[in-house]
């Protein structure tokens, strides 16, 4: 399973909530936050996902977050 698959699975599992890159990196224990950022930008290009500045359902921060639509 790739990191993209793991990120997709997490985003779909928390749906309809949204989740930011920091929380994704923490929950998946990624060593680099930018890895989560790269994968969420990639995932946002797929149908069924939306990435925008919104309140993260986990940390409450107002920042770029992704959710499954």
CATH code: domain of residue 56: 1.10.10
Q: Which residue has the tokens 């993209």?
A: 4
Sheet holding 62-68, edge to edge: 19-20, 62-68, 49-55
Quote the CA–CA distance of 23 and 36 in Å, as a whole number: 9
pLDDT band at 32 (very low <50, low <70, confident <90, very high): confident
The 3-state DSSP class for residue 64 equals strand
Question: Domain containing 33: what range?
Answer: 3-68
How large is the average pLDDT for residues 9-37? 95
pTM of the predicted structure, to 2 decimals? 0.94
Quote the CA–CA distance of 39 and 60 in Å, as a whole number: 21
What's the structural domain count of the chain? 1
Tokens of 36: 């989560």
- Whats the size of the chain, residue-wise? 69
**pLDDT at residue 31 tops 90:** no
């Amino acid at each position: 399973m790739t990191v993209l698959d793991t990120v997709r699975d997490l985003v779909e599992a928390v749906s309809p909530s949204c989740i930011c890159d920091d929380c994704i990196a923490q929950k998946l224990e990624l060593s680099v936050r930018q890895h989560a950022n790269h994968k969420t930008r990639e995932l946002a290009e797929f149908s069924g996902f939306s990435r925008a500045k919104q309140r993260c359902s986990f940390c409450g921060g107002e920042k770029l977050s992704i959710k499954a639509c």
